[in-house]
């Protein structure tokens, strides 16, 4: 018996799931998408969000107190 290492595709978030995760309104997420300010995947007419990309996006926009502004 052989085992194969199958990786499942990442669970992609819907707009409602992402809004709940971020603690914002769905309308705000839609505005971020329209302004191309957040990473998203468009699959036909559906919008989906990769949690890993969202975490990276959040980290790049994080402000730390006491650090000089760039």
- Structural domain tally of the chain? 1
Residue 5 pLDDT greater than 80, yes or no: no
Residue 64 pLDDT greater than 60, yes or no: yes
Q: How far is CA 63 from the centre of its chain?
A: 18
Helices and strands per DSSP (H, E), number in the chain: 3, 2
Within a domain: 70: no
Rounding to the nearest 10 degrees, give the CA dihedral for residues 27, 33, 38, 42. Answer: 120
- What residues make up the domain containing 43? 15-60
**Half-sphere exposure at residue 23, Cβ-oriented, CA atoms within 13 angstroms:** 0
Provide the whole-model pTM: 0.76
pLDDT value at position 67?
65
pLDDT digits (tens, 9 = 90+) for 16-62: 999 999 999 999 999 999 999 999 999 899 999 999 999 999 999 88
pLDDT value at position 28?
98
Within a domain: 28: yes
Within a domain: 4: no
């Amino acid at each position: 018996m052989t085992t194969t290492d199958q990786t499942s595709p990442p669970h992609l978030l819907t707009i409602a799931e992402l809004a709940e995760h971020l603690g914002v309104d769905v309308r705000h997420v839609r505005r971020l998408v329209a302004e191309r300010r957040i990473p998203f995947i468009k699959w036909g007419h559906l919008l989906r969000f990769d949690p890993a990309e969202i975490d990276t996006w959040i980290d790049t926009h994080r402000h730390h107190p006491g650090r000089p502004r760039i």
